[in-house]
């Protein structure tokens, strides 16, 4: 009887020890998960804070532009530094229309010299083939972007001796910009592509190109067109290099 009691106590002690070890392991695992969750929370909180600052900065830029446009004496059909018409009088409606047009085009990119499907194919079949071929090429630039393409279409009427531009619409303006940046980073670029500009943006860019050519022909060197806050400007590469050296 005494031996049975000792044996029972031993078994209970072993079970208690095993249970203690199991509980300790679960507590350690739970502690690790909690630490990971806290770390993820801190990271997410920092990202939200950074995003809030970014949004506030961009809103401030837009607000300042609108204030400048409202105070601008430029006539409705003239070009301001940003390529947007004056916001005074009737021109204000043009400003609203221009901003809406830019917002609508922001998720789009235009791809040039991208081989068209055979003209004998039906329109839907041609679109499906364009989509398949474009995604196949896009995998060489950024595979994750292939799943973010929402639709595409050819611009203009078909001509036997001319390839129509391909307008590709991504899920967001960010994805469209990401595509353009990553494509330009390729050496050489996989696509000949650009953002989907409004007529006024194209007009303003052509004016800048003419101005750049004139200044270059007159002897100025190291000039180029760069985008600052989404607005193209003629800048000096020499000045940019000097600022980098100072930094």
Domains and CATH numbers, the chain: 108-195 (3.30.70.1820), 200-246 (no CATH)
Euclidean distance between CA atoms 86 and 219, whole angstroms: 33
Q: What is the pLDDT of residues 69-78, one digit of tens each?
A: 655 544 444 4
Euclidean distance between CA atoms 84 and 199, whole angstroms: 11
Mean pLDDT (the chain) is 81
Which pLDDT value is given to residue 6? 66
Which contacts qualify for 166-170: CB closer than 8 Å, 24 or more apart?
166/110, 166/111, 166/112, 166/114, 166/130, 166/134, 167/108, 167/109, 167/110, 167/111, 167/196, 168/108, 168/109, 168/110, 168/111, 168/134, 169/107, 169/108, 170/107, 170/108, 170/109, 170/145
Return the number of other C-beta atoms located less than 10 Å from residue 118's C-beta: 8
Euclidean distance between CA atoms 48 and 56, whole angstroms: 12
For the four alpha carbons of 188, 189, 192 and 196, in that order, the dihedral sign comes to negative
Which pLDDT value is given to residue 163? 93
Averaged pLDDT for residues 194-223: 91
Q: Which backbone phi and psi does 150 adopt, to 5 degrees? A: -95, -40
Specify the higher pLDDT residue, 241 or 209: 209
Q: Give, in order, the Cα–Cα distances in Å from 210 to each of 35, 78, 229.
A: 59, 17, 22
Euclidean distance between CA atoms 68 and 91, whole angstroms: 13
Which contacts qualify for 59-67: CB closer than 8 Å, 24 or more apart?
61/229
Placement of tokens 């930094």 in the chain:
247
Strands 231-236 and 223-228: antiparallel
Give the three-class secondary structure for 117. coil
> For residues 45-78, b (16+ Cβ closer than 10 Å) or e, as one string?
eeeeeeeeeeeeeeeeeeeebeeebeebebeeee
Specify the higher pLDDT residue, 73 or 24: 24
Return the number of other C-beta atoms located less than 10 Å from residue 226's C-beta: 13
Q: What is the pLDDT of residues 117-166, one digit of tens each?
A: 987 788 889 999 999 999 999 999 999 999 999 999 999 998 888 999 99
Which pLDDT value is given to residue 194? 94
Q: Give, in order, the Cα–Cα distances in Å from 110 to each of 89, 133, 149.
A: 34, 15, 13
Placement of tokens 């770390």 in the chain:
39
Which pLDDT value is given to residue 26? 82
Q: Is the entire prediction scored with pTM above 0.75?
A: no
């Amino acid at each position: 009887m005494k031996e049975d009691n000792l044996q029972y106590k031993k078994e209970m002690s072993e079970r208690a020890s095993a249970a203690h070890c199991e509980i300790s392991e679960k507590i350690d695992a739970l502690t690790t998960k909690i630490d990971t969750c806290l770390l993820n929370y801190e990271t997410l909180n920092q990202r939200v804070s950074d995003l809030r600052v970014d949004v506030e900065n961009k809103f401030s830029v837009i607000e300042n532009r609108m204030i400048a446009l409202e105070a601008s004496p430029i006539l409705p059909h003239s070009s301001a530094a940003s390529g947007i018409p004056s916001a005074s009088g009737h021109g204000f409606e043009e400003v609203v229309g221009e901003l809406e047009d830019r917002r609508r085009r922001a998720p789009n990119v235009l791809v040039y010299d991208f081989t068209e499907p055979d003209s004998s194919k039906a329109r839907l079949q041609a679109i499906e083939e364009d989509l398949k071929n474009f995604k196949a090429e896009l995998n060489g630039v950024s595979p994750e972007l292939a799943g973010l393409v929402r639709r595409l279409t050819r611009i203009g009427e078909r001509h036997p001796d001319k390839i129509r531009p391909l307008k590709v619409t991504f899920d967001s303006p960010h994805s469209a910009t990401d595509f353009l940046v990553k494509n330009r980073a390729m050496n050489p670029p996989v696509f000949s592509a650009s953002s989907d500009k409004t007529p006024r943006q194209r007009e303003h860019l052509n004016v800048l190109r003419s101005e750049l050519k004139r200044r270059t022909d007159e002897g100025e060197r190291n000039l180029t067109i760069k985008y600052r806050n989404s607005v193209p400007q003629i800048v000096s590469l020499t000045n940019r290099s000097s600022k980098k050296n100072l930094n």
